[in-house]
Structure 1
Amino acid sequence: MAQQFEDKFCRKFSYLRLSVTDVCNFKCSYCLPNGYRPDGIKSRFLSLSEIERVVRVFADCGTSKVRITGGEPSMRKDFVDIIHSVAAIPRISKVATTTNGYRMEKQVEQWRNAGLTDINVSLDSLEPRMFRLITGENKFRQVMNGIEKAFEVGFAKVKVNVVLMKEHNAKELPLFLEWIKTRPIQLRFIELMQTGDMDEFFNKQHVSGASILNHLIANGWILENRSQNDGPAQVYSHPDYRGEIGLIMPYSKDFCSSCNRLRVSALGKLHMCLFGDYGVELRDLLQSDEQRDALVKRIRAQLNNKSVSHFLQDGHTGMTPHLASIGG
């Protein structure tokens, strides 16, 4: 194995977030409120062979976890093949996906059989009407059925992502806590993040994750230890609950100090950060195995440019127009 990818701040990168499409069929108010809009250029997303090459290089340089993202990744007709190909690469021990869940009930067993080890479902409300208001889709029951189906086919735990919004779901905390009392769900409350297209929405809807944290600590929730290739969530458990709570608070002090993630977009660009100012083209080096060394060299060179922070706390949103554009 080659030397692990590492930046000038001695952060090691064991986790790759790989977008396979920026297309999504939901119209979530904090991401794509007007639905997916093609840029007028017919996008050609990474092919299966290109995906295999980029993941193989990351695996050779210390990556052990790959999260397949979108848009909505299951909209790719070859999604099962992508899972299978990534899972078959040596040294990749975790293959995860983040999905809006609308196809899970019918497909999650295929995903698991192909090698998917971890699953995150975006579910921003437990109230069907609020779910429809946030997502623009009347698919609450399909998503809930999909979560139950994931348990039926053998997933020991399901992570559920909830983006906090002041006027939408901020009052649902008791309902969510009751839901996970008897279910092995890690409920991940994600602080709303400001992107280029969503300044006004952010100012109106942002809820600090600190308010949730204070509630948890006051009610006996205990912080768990973090594993090497875990994502950014601070995870809390409680002796009276089967489920867990994860808090993702990008505006908190030193949020970026433990960063272990790099991102590759569906069009083959390397992004140092979700809120970075640019992407670095990798696709020209994904056309043959003979370009492997050049690909490693280009990635290592760009790691020298990775910033110490995303500077969200200073009002910097980078080039990211919306979260679906490079895989959230």
Structure 2
Amino acid sequence: MSDAFDGEALVNPEVESEAEVAFEGALRPKSLAEFVGQRKVRGQLQLLLDAAAIQNRTPDHILLAGPPGLGKTTLAMIVAHESERPLRLTSGPAIQHAGDLAAVLSSLVPGEVLFIDEIHRMARSAEEMLYLAMEDFRIDIMVGKGAGATSIPLDLAPFTLVGATTRSGLLPNPLRDRFGFTAHLEFYETGELVRVLQRAAQLLGVPIGDEALGEIASRSRGTPRIANRLLRRVRDYALVDGGGATLEAVRAALDLYDVDELGLDRLDRAVMGIILERFDGGPVGLNTLAVSVGEEAETIEAVVEPFLVRIGLLSRTPRGRVATKAGWAHFGMPRNANALFGDDL
């Protein structure tokens, strides 16, 4: 198994095989009470669902915004489960025409929860159809072309739309304004991730101590999905090694899979290495950086860069990406006398 595959499968939230999806599905909490972290969002959702139940109506439309792997899909499933409604799952990239959306909406049963993942990637024509559907529970279907085209209104069953997005700024204002509640999910603290891992370890039947779980949590980039995947790799290592999931086994397993003490993987280190070694700490443009590491610019911008900025190793400036003092220190490299620090610009 190559280093590139290992790094992507472990820490890149965008990479999901069928096995990973099944694994994560088995660990998903089924209720808000079981859901760890996001305390404020859980309280807000509970109030929204309780009010809808008291009034015997469908809950308001919900927008879940935040980085990948924090539980947006899980929360959508919990909304359907706790409101005792059926759930329909689809995604923005799958809805590239208004007709695609019309087919989904017209087949909904009363009260159904419709979950659209990556909703910001829907086609514009579908977004415009969704405005009316969310507000008035009806859509207008055009029949014919040109001067003879006729608009036929179609009433829809009342439904609750739960949209998930990693880039809420790309949603048009008319669509964003039609959601009754918008939740912004935050990265998890290490203590919260330990609780996530304790539950996962129990479900997976992995005997492991809190110190070892803390080591996994500290390398999980504040993301439960990554924490669960790293736990799976530790379980495999302990199984093959035969010595149990000790702290030493955790460190050995994560070192084997190129996940360092801050949670940096192969691609993170490649990006920082290019900035530090080839460009004397920067500034470096996004496209230049992407070409240098052989990766898509969108992956660098959406997956790698936010994490490096959040932990203080990289800074974004109008002139490009620049390594910070902490970035130089983490890699133990002597700084060129003419190099700039990210906080110097």
TM-score normalized with structure 2 length? 0.30
More helix by percentage: 2
TM-score normalized with structure 1 length? 0.31
State the structure with more CA Rg: 2
Q: Which of 1 and 2 has higher RCO (CA within 8 Å, sep 6+)?
A: 1
